[in-house]
Structure formats: structure tokens, C-alpha cells
């Protein structure tokens, strides 16, 4: 059996097909011993190994053997059951990773957009509980400025003069500030600020249009609008609060722990995520 390249398992009625080398990643595990005919509890029936265990949970075990990483769906809750399954199969490095449940659970991410209209300008401030989300959003948002003659808030097109990009204000890693619209300069001159939000290519000057595009961008990115409120009626500051379940990064085997070695696995957060 040890020389067979493909192995078929029926785990709780669920059929798995894999390479023998995948099951032999950890030679001291029961799965490796099964392939080598050293564990008689696993019966070979019609060319398939029958295993009387949970087939749904075994899919996560197979994923670990293939990637050496634990990455679970956001709605996963059977950490203790999966840990017991890992212990049953003798995959103690996996059981050790699963014991760090607090690192594997998804976290609730909160994002708040504050919007204020003052005369011909609109002010935006975005707060986020996750700094990486704010960084990514800052890369999507661009602000441009330029002088215009005799044009106001509702001008649908940028001035023919070249527009100059402006950096976003970043008071901290968790927020950003920008504005759009026009302000009086001198004579019939106006200083105009336009906002563009990727992947949309338009440069918008109207604050209400920018707000609509921003909210739509957040909804497409997986956020859910949970509340709207007026912060201060005098300044007409509106607050939009969003939430999103942010998927945890996977935990992976690192350091001295390699397939085939014994002992307790060391773990770190993987930089690769399988979705948000």
C-alpha cells in the first residue's frame, strides 16, 4: 500500500481522494501509519479506507495537510470538535494551532463615515477599527485641486486647467480626512477640489455625489450599513456606521516544526488570506 500514489478514503460516508504523500506529511500520525498498513483500525474495503469519523470536519484536516495552514470560514464554530478530530488522527501540530482559537476567529470590523455640508464644500472624515482597511481605502481615494473661473458647486466637468493631486489628511492610522467642492478665491476665481474613488474613473465635485459613491464602494466591499445619525444639527454633521466580519488570517506551521518532526508546533499568522 505504501507504494500506491493515490489513496481513497471514506470518512463518515464522505469520499476523499488524495495522494499518499499528502497523508504522510507527518509520519507519526495515524493517517501516515494507515497508508503504511501500520494502523489496523482503518479498514480497507473495496480499495477504500473506511474511517468512522466526521467527514465534514475531515475536509479541514485535508486542507491542513495540503497547505500546512489553518484557515476556517467566518461562520465556523466547532473548534473543540475539530481539535479532537486532529488528536484522534495524531496530528498534534494541527491540534496545537486549533488551541489558539482566539487567533482563528473572525473579528467584527467597524467603520464610520462623517459627512458635513458647509456652503459650497463637503467635508469627509472616515474612522476605522482596522488600520489596514483605512490604508486600502486611502489608496482608492484621490483628491485633485485646481482654479476655475465663474464655476461653482454644480459644475459637472473639471476645469480645462491641469488638476493637481492633493494628499489625504491622515490624523492617525485609523482615520482620514478630505473635502470636495469650491471656495471663493479672488475676483471670479474659485479653488475647486474633486474626488475620485477607484475603480470609478470620474472626478466628482458635488459632495452628495461623492458620499453616494463612497457608501456604494463600502457596500460592495462587504460592509453593512447598521446606523445613520445626525451628530450635530447646527453643523449638519451626518454619521454613517458600517460593520463587516473580517476573516482571520490563517495560522501556519513555521520555525523548527516541519512535516515528519515530532513535538509541539509553533505558529504564526499567515500573510495570505483566503477571502475577507
Each residue of 138-165: pLDDT tens digit?
A: 999 999 998 766 555 455 455 556 889 9
Task: Quote the pLDDT of residue 270.
Answer: 45
C-alpha distance from residue 83 to each of 25, 75, 90, 225, 264 (Å): 18, 17, 11, 36, 14
Could you tell me which CATH number the domain at 6-104 has?
3.30.710.10
- List the chain domain ranges: 6-104, 108-245
Task: Quote the pLDDT of residue 154.
Answer: 52
**Could you read off the pLDDT of 174-192 as tens digits, one per residue?**
999 999 998 876 666 778 9
Task: Quote the pLDDT of residue 39.
Answer: 82
Per-10-residue mean pLDDT, the chain, length 276: 75 94 93 88 86 94 93 85 95 91 83 91 94 94 83 51 88 94 74 93 94 96 93 80 81 58 44 37
61 vs 257: CA distance, rounded Å: 18
C-alpha distance from residue 236 to each of 174, 215, 226, 239 (Å): 23, 18, 20, 10
pTM of the model: 0.61
Task: Quote the pLDDT of residue 88.
Answer: 96
Task: Quote the pLDDT of residue 149.
Answer: 63
Name which of 148, 105, 121, 139 is nearest 251 in CA terms.
105
Amino acid at each position: 500500500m505504501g507504494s500506491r500514489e493515490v489513496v481513497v478514503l471514506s470518512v463518515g460516508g464522505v469520499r476523499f481522494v488524495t495522494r499518499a504523500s499528502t497523508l504522510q506529511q507527518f509520519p507519526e500520525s495515524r493517517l501516515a501509519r494507515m497508508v503504511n498498513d501500520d494502523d489496523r483500525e482503518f479498514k480497507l474495503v473495496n480499495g477504500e479506507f473506511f474511517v468512522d469519523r466526521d467527514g465534514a470536519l475531515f475536509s479541514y484536516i485535508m486542507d491542513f495537510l495540503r497547505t500546512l495552514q489553518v484557515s476556517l470560514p467566518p461562520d465556523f464554530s466547532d473548534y473543540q470538535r475539530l481539535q479532537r478530530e486532529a488528536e484522534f488522527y495524531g496530528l498534534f501540530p494541527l491540534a496545537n494551532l486549533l488551541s489558539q482559537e482566539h487567533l482563528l476567529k473572525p473579528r467584527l470590523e467597524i467603520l464610520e463615515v462623517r459627512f458635513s455640508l458647509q456652503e459650497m464644500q463637503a467635508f469627509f472624515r472616515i474612522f476605522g477599527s482596522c488600520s489596514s482597511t483605512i490604508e486600502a481605502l486611502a489608496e482608492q481615494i484621490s483628491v485633485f485641486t485646481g482654479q476655475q473661473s465663474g464655476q461653482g458647486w454644480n459644475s459637472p466637468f473639471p476645469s480645462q486647467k491641469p488638476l493637481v493631486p492633493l494628499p489625504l489628511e491622515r490624523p492617525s492610522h485609523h482615520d482620514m480626512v478630505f473635502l470636495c467642492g469650491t471656495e471663493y478665491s479672488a475676483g471670479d476665481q474659485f479653488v475647486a477640489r474633486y474626488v475620485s474613488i477607484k475603480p470609478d474613473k470620474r472626478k466628482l465635485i458635488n459632495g452628495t455625489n461623492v458620499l453616494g459613491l463612497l457608501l456604494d464602494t463600502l457596500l460592495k466591499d462587504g460592509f453593512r450599513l447598521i446606523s445613520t445619525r445626525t451628530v450635530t444639527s447646527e453643523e449638519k454633521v451626518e454619521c454613517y456606521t458600517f460593520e463587516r466580519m473580517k476573516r482571520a488570517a490563517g495560522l501556519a506551521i513555521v520555525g523548527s516544526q516541519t512535516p515528519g518532526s515530532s513535538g509541539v508546533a509553533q505558529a504564526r499568522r499567515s500573510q495570505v488570506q483566503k477571502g475577507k
